[in-house]
Amino acid sequence: MRKMSGRPNSPTMSFDDAATLHVLRAIGVTYAELSLMFGERNSRVTQVLEGDLYGGSWESALERLERHEYWHPRVASFAEQLGSVTLAIAVRANDPARRSYQRSLKRLRKTTIPFVTERRLWELATRRAG
């Protein structure tokens, strides 16, 4: 009988950990460092940051920062160093929905004719999504 190795498929991080992930990534912590900090695979970190896993964690992190509520020691430390307003701005700039739109726009640019305007690409992207 063969022994299975690796991590279990079920997520081990909590919703608060996912919110912390969004904050740490917004200030520049790399995927590899996040994986080590939380003991998760890079693919799991990517799923959280793209909003596929723990949906609403980005919004929760942003709301909590705006209320000056710090749920993790690292978040509190960075809020003290950078200021809560600066930290909230950084998290807001890393909106998973916006990054998803940017990826789809990049794919559309590769598949469409070169003279299509960005406005037309937006129309195509929203038509496909809707």
Identify the pLDDT of residue 71.
92
Q: Is the pLDDT of residue 18 over 90?
A: yes
Contact between 99 and 112 under an 8 Å Cβ cutoff? The reply is: no
- Round the average pLDDT of the chain to a whole number and report it: 82
Q: Is the pLDDT of residue 60 over 60?
A: yes
Report d(CA 55, CA 59) in Å as an integer. 9
Contact between 72 and 29 under an 8 Å Cβ cutoff? The reply is: no
Residue 54: helix, strand or coil by DSSP?
coil
Over residues 109-129, mean pLDDT:
69
DSSP 14: -
Report d(CA 116, CA 129) in Å as an integer. 19
Confidence band, pLDDT 50/70/90 cuts, at residue 3: very low
pTM score of the predicted model:
0.69
Q: How far is CA 29 from CA 24, 73, 78, 86, 110, in A?
A: 6, 15, 12, 16, 30
Share of the chain above pLDDT 90, in %: 33
54-45-66 Cα angle (round to 5): 55
